Structure 1
Amino acid sequence: MIEAKYFMGVDTGTQSVRVVVTDISGNILVASEKPYQTYFPKPGRAEQKPDDWWRCFNEAVKEVTDQLSMGVRYSIVGISVCSTSSTVVPIDDHGNALQDAIMWMDTRAIKEMEICNATHHPCLKYCGGAESVEWMIPKVLWIKRNQSDVYQKAYKIIEQLDWFNYKLTGGKLATSICQAACKWNYIDGHGGWQKDFFEQIGLEDYEDILVTDVKQVGEPLGKIDHEFAEKYDLNPEMQVIEGGIDAHIGMLGLGVSKPGRLAMIMGTSFVQLCFSKEEKELEGIWGPYLNPVVPGLNILEGGQISAGSIVKWYMKQWGFDKMDRPYEAIAEMLKSTKPGANGLVALDFFQGNRTPYKDPNAKGVIYGLTLSHTKADIYRALIESVAMGTKNIIDNFEKQGVPIDMIVGCGGVTKDKNWMQIIADATGKPIIVTVDPSAGGLGCCIVAAVGTQTYASFDEATEGMVKMAYTVEPNPDNYPAYEALFKRYTELYSHLKDMMNDEEE
C-alpha cells in the first residue's frame, strides 16, 4: 500500500495570505484565506506590517489544521511559500522587522532606479534592459540613501518570502533564485552576483546587507520549526521547500511548465508570464530571467501594476464596498453600457506603468467625460483600460516573435465573468481557467511535491496536479470596437506622457 502524501502551500499575496493543503493529485482538501491591510502613507508609497502577515498566516493554518485528521496532518510532507515581490523588510539578527515592509507597488525608489539604469551595465539585458522601481535593489539603495539609521541597524534587508522561510525553519536565511534572477540582478550561469554593478550604484556592501545564499525553486531548506509543528500537530519531519514569486509559482499552478501558453495572474495587479528556451531580449518586456523556476527555461514577463486595485478604488469611491452584494450590483449596472463606454477612454496607470512603457511616472486618466456619462460608463471604461493594457502587452510579445495562442488565467478577476469576457474580446485570445483559480497556493504545493521527490519534475507534477475548468472564448463581434478603442488608448498615453513625467512627485 502506497503511503498517502499531502502538501501545504502558502500564498502571501498583496491583500491576504491563503493556505491550502492538497493531495498528490492536486485536489484541495481544505483552504483558508485571511486578509491584511496595506497602508498608503504618501502618494506612491505602499507599506505592510510583517506582524500582520504572521498573525494572519497562523490564523489560516489553525483554520486549516483544525479541519484535518491527525493522520492527514502527519502526512503533510512538505510546505512551500510564494510571495509578492519585491516586498522588502529590514531585519535584526533575530529576524525581527525593523520597520514596516516596503511593498512591491511602492514607487519611492525612482531616483535609485535611475541610478541603476544609468550604469548601462550588461546585467540589465537580463531584465529587459532596465531596472524597475518595484524591484529589490532600488528599494535597498533607497533605504541606504534615505534611512541610514535603519540601514546601519539592519542585519539583513530581505524579501517577504525570505522572512517567511526564516520563521518556518527557525532561523534559516536564504533567498530563491526566482527572486534573485527576476528582481535582484543575479544572473545564473553568468557569474551570479554582479560585483561591479553593485559597486557602481553604491551598494558595494551588498554581500553584507543582502542574503546571497541562492536556492533553487523546489530545493529543501530544512525541517519545519519544532515549535510551529508542535503548535499545530504537524509532522516534525515536514520539509520547508524553497518557493518563489507568487506570480511565477502561479505559472505551475496553472499548468504552465513549458513554452507555448501565456500564464496570466489576474488580481490586484496583472502579471503575464511565458517560458522560453532562448535568451530573447524584447523591448518593453522584463527578462529574459535565466532559470528562475524550471531549470533550462527562461521567463519573459509583462505586467500591469494596477488592475483589480482600480476596481477596489472605484467601488470605494462610489460606495459599492458598503453594499451587501457589491459585485452583483456592479455587474447589473454594467448591463447599461456597451463596448467603448460611450466614448470614454481610460488609462490604467494608477501606480505607473510596468510594461510595455516601463514608466513609473505614468498616471491614471479618464478622458472624454461629458454631462451625459454615468458611473456605469466610468466603470466600464476603467475595466476596459485594463483589458487594453493586457492587449498592449500581448501585441508587444507577438510583434517580437513570441506567439501567444491562449491565456491561462487565475486570480480574483477570474470570478468576474463580464471582465473576463472583455479581456478575451479585446485581445482576441481564449482564456482557460483552471479548477483552482488562485493558482499560487496550488503552485506552492506542486513545488513542495517536487521538493519532497514525490514527483520527479515540474512537468510531471503539473500534469498530475492541475485540472482545467472552462474556457472563455472571444466574441469576434466586439473585436472591431476594441481595436478602435486600443488605438485611442495608445494615442492618449503618447500625447500625455511628457506632461506626466514633468509633474513633481
Structure 2
Amino acid sequence: MSKGGGNMTMKQAIVAGIDFGTQGLKVGLFTVAGKLVWKGERSYPTVYPHAGQAEQNPQHWWKALREVLAEAASVLPLSQIEGIGVCATSSTVLVVDEAGTPQTPALMWMDKRAVAQAQTINEKEEPIVKDILRYSGGKVSEEWMVAKALYLKENGYLLPGRKVVEQLDWINFKLTNRWVASQCNAVCKWNYRDGEGFSPAFFKAIDLPEYREFWPEEVIPVGSQVGVVTEGAAVELGLSAGIPVFQGGIDAHIGMLGVGAVDSGIMSLVMGTSFVHLVHAEEPVFHEGLWGPYENPILPDKWLIEGGQLSCGSLTTWFLQQFYPHVPAEQLYRVYDELLAEAARIAPGSEGLVMMDSWQGNRTPYRNPHATGSLVGLTLAHTRYHIFRAILEATAYGTRNIISTFEETDVPITRIIACGGGTKNALWMQILSDVTGLVIETLEETEAGSKGAAILASYGLGHYLTLADAAKALAEKGHVYTPQPDAHRAYDRYFTTYLDLHKALFPIMKELIVT
C-alpha cells in the first residue's frame, strides 16, 4: 500500500473527496491543485426511535453515493478520477456479518443509549484505566465507539463472525473489500495510542477483552492507502476499478485539512448539525473540560485538542420542521430568507430571550449527557423570529463557553477559521463574531470535509510531500467577520445569564429524563 510523498509532478489529475455527514452526503471533485470541478449532495434520513436515540440505515449511505456519482457522470467522465478520499461522522457504529451486511441500524454519533456503559468505564479505579483515559480528557463519552461496543456486547449483538465498525470503515470496505480502521478515529474515539496501539489490559479492565475479535485488525494513518476500488464497487458506482482509496477520518477532523488549520493555535470551527472546535498543539494539554489530548490523529507530531456542541444546525432544522411543516422542501429557502431578514431586525439578546443549546446533551465543557434544551424569558410579545434568533445566539454562547475553556489552557488561539453549511448564514456568522468578540474567517469552499478528503487523495497520490503542505496550498480564504463593539457588550450580559441557566437547570433536567 502506498503513502504520500512520491511523485511530485503537478499534473491536473481529478480526485474525489467524499464526506458522509449527519444529514447527508457531499461529494466534491477537485483537481490536485485544489480547484473545484464539480460537487453534488444527497440527504438521507435519521430516525429517533426514543428520546436520546438516533439511527440511520447504512444502505441509505451507499444509495446516496451511487446517485451522486451518477449525477457527476452526466457532467464529466468518472474515468478521470485518479484517487478517492473519504471522511464520515464518528462514532456512528453498526454491527455487520462476515460479508459486511449490516445486522443493526447504525447508532449515530449523537445516540446516547450507551450512557450506562460510559459511566461504568469512567468509574473504574484500575490504574491502567485512569492512564488511558487521561488522553481522552479523563473520560470516555457515551457517543464513542468503546462505550457503544460495550453496549452492543451487553445487549447480545456481538455474535460469532460479526464485526462492530464505524461508518467510515464500512464505506471503505464497500469500496475496497478491506476492513481497516483510521488512526484518526481510533485515537480520538477508540482509546488507541499512536505507537502503542490498543491496551489489552485496559480492555480487560472495562470488560471488553474480546475487542480484537470484532474490530478491524489494522489501524492505518490518515492519507495511507486503504486499497483500490473493486470490480463490484466499480460496477455499482460507475467508477473505474483499481482507483486508489486513501484513508480518511472523522469528518470534522479531516475538515481541518480542508481549511488549512494545520499549525498550532489555529481553531477549526466546523458548523454543521453539531459544532466541533479543534486546535492542534505542540505538546499535550490536559483539561477536564476538553477532549484529548489526542496524539497524532491527523498529522505526525501534532497533538489535537477538541471541544464540541451536540445541537446546532439540528436546531434550525427542528425549527423549520415544527413551524413550517406545510412548506414543500424546495420552497424552504424562501422561508429561511424571511427568517434571517426578520431576525436581523431584532436587537442582540432577542429582547430578553435566552436559549440553552444542550438539546441532545452537553459535550463541552460540562460533559453532561442528561442535559436538555430550555427557552427562558418568553413573553406574549415574542414571535417565531425571536425564537429563531435565540437559536442562533444559543449556539454562539456555547461556542464562547468552549473558547473560554480553551483559554484556560496554555494553547493560544491565534485564528478561528469556520467551515460547514452554517457559514452560508451571514447573520449567524456575525452573531458568532459579536458573541465571542473574535474575528472569524470563512473559506471560499464552505464544505471543508469533502475538500479535506480530496486533499488526502492528492497527498496520497504523491503530489505533495506532506499533508500539512497539501492543506496549506489548497485552502482558499473567503469572508472575514469582525465583532461589533456595541453588540459584543450587549451579549456579555446575556452570556452570563446563559451560564447561570446551566447551573440552575441541569439538576432539574436530570429529573425530567424519560426512560
Letter in 2 for 1:140: A
| Displacement of 1:378 | 1.6
Structure having greater relative contact order (Cα 8 Å, sep ≥ 6) = 2
Counterpart CA distance in 1 for 2:229 and 2:181 is 17
User: 2:315·2:391 contact (CA, 8 Å) conserved in 1?
Assistant: yes
| Displacement of 1:137 | 0.7
Letter in 1 for 2:75: Q
Counterpart CA distance in 1 for 2:392 and 2:236 is 44
Secondary structure, in 3 states, of the residue corresponding to 1:20?
strand
What residue number does 1:179 align with?
185
| Displacement of 1:332 | 2.1
Change (3 A) 1:244 1:343: same
Counterpart CA distance in 2 for 1:289 and 1:89 is 24
What residue number does 1:356 align with?
365
Letter in 1 for 2:118: M
Matched, 1:331 2:340: yes
Size of the aligned set, in residue pairs, is 498
Structure 1 unaligned blocks of 5 or more? none
Deviations 1:378-432 (A, max 9, x none): 2222211110000000011012222223210111111111111000110111111
User: 1:405·1:429 contact (CA, 8 Å) conserved in 2?
Assistant: no
User: 1:336·1:376 contact (CA, 8 Å) conserved in 2?
Assistant: no
What does 1:71-470 correspond to in 2, within 5 Å? Answer: 73-120=78-125, 121=129, 122-146=131-155, 148=156, 150-152=157-159, 155-169=162-176, 171-189=177-195, 191-230=196-235, 234-319=239-324, 322=327, 324=331, 325-470=334-479
Letter in 2 for 1:387: A
Secondary structure, in 3 states, of the residue corresponding to 2:158?
helix
User: 1:80·1:445 contact (CA, 8 Å) conserved in 2?
Assistant: yes
Letter in 2 for 1:32: G
Deviations 1:148-196 (A, max 9, x none): 1x22155210000000000100x2001000010000000113x220212
| Displacement of 1:464 | 2.2
Letter in 2 for 1:15: Q
Counterpart CA distance in 2 for 1:400 and 1:8 is 38
| Displacement of 1:25 | 1.5
Counterpart CA distance in 2 for 1:2 and 1:177 is 28
TM-score by structure 2 length? 0.94
Letter in 2 for 1:178: C
What does 1:464-503 correspond to in 2, within 5 Å? Answer: 464-503=473-512
User: 1:315·1:321 contact (CA, 8 Å) conserved in 2?
Assistant: no
Secondary structure, in 3 states, of the residue corresponding to 1:341?
coil
Counterpart CA distance in 1 for 2:438 and 2:344 is 23
Letter in 2 for 1:210: W
What residue number does 2:6 align with?
none
| Displacement of 1:320 | 6.8
Letter in 2 for 1:162: D
User: 2:11·2:32 contact (CA, 8 Å) conserved in 1?
Assistant: no
Counterpart CA distance in 1 for 2:10 and 2:381 is 67
What residue number does 2:57 align with?
49
Change (3 A) 1:207 1:243: same
Percent pairwise identity:
39
What residue number does 2:43 align with?
35
What residue number does 2:13 align with?
5
Counterpart CA distance in 1 for 2:311 and 2:251 is 16
TM-score by structure 1 length? 0.96
Secondary structure, in 3 states, of the residue corresponding to 1:243?
coil
User: 1:414·1:420 contact (CA, 8 Å) conserved in 2?
Assistant: yes
What residue number does 1:25 align with?
33
Letter in 1 for 2:41: E
Counterpart CA distance in 1 for 2:216 and 2:511 is 37
Structure 2 unaligned blocks of 5 or more? 1-8
Letter in 2 for 1:176: S
What residue number does 2:3 align with?
none
Letter in 2 for 1:242: Q
Change (3 A) 1:310 1:154: farther
Letter in 2 for 1:282: H
Change (3 A) 1:201 1:472: same
Counterpart CA distance in 2 for 1:478 and 1:320 is 33
Secondary structure, in 3 states, of the residue corresponding to 1:162?
helix
User: 1:88·1:158 contact (CA, 8 Å) conserved in 2?
Assistant: yes
Once the two structures are overlaid, the 10-residue window that deviates more, 115-124 or 87-96, is: 115-124
What residue number does 2:5 align with?
none
Cα RMSD for the two superposed structures? 1.5
User: 2:179·2:217 contact (CA, 8 Å) conserved in 1?
Assistant: no
Counterpart CA distance in 1 for 2:457 and 2:414 is 29
| Displacement of 1:2 | 6.4
User: 2:256·2:262 contact (CA, 8 Å) conserved in 1?
Assistant: yes
Deviations 1:73-116 (A, max 9, x none): 33422101100000001000000000110000001110001011
- Which of 57, 62, 66 does residue 58 from structure 1 map onto? 66
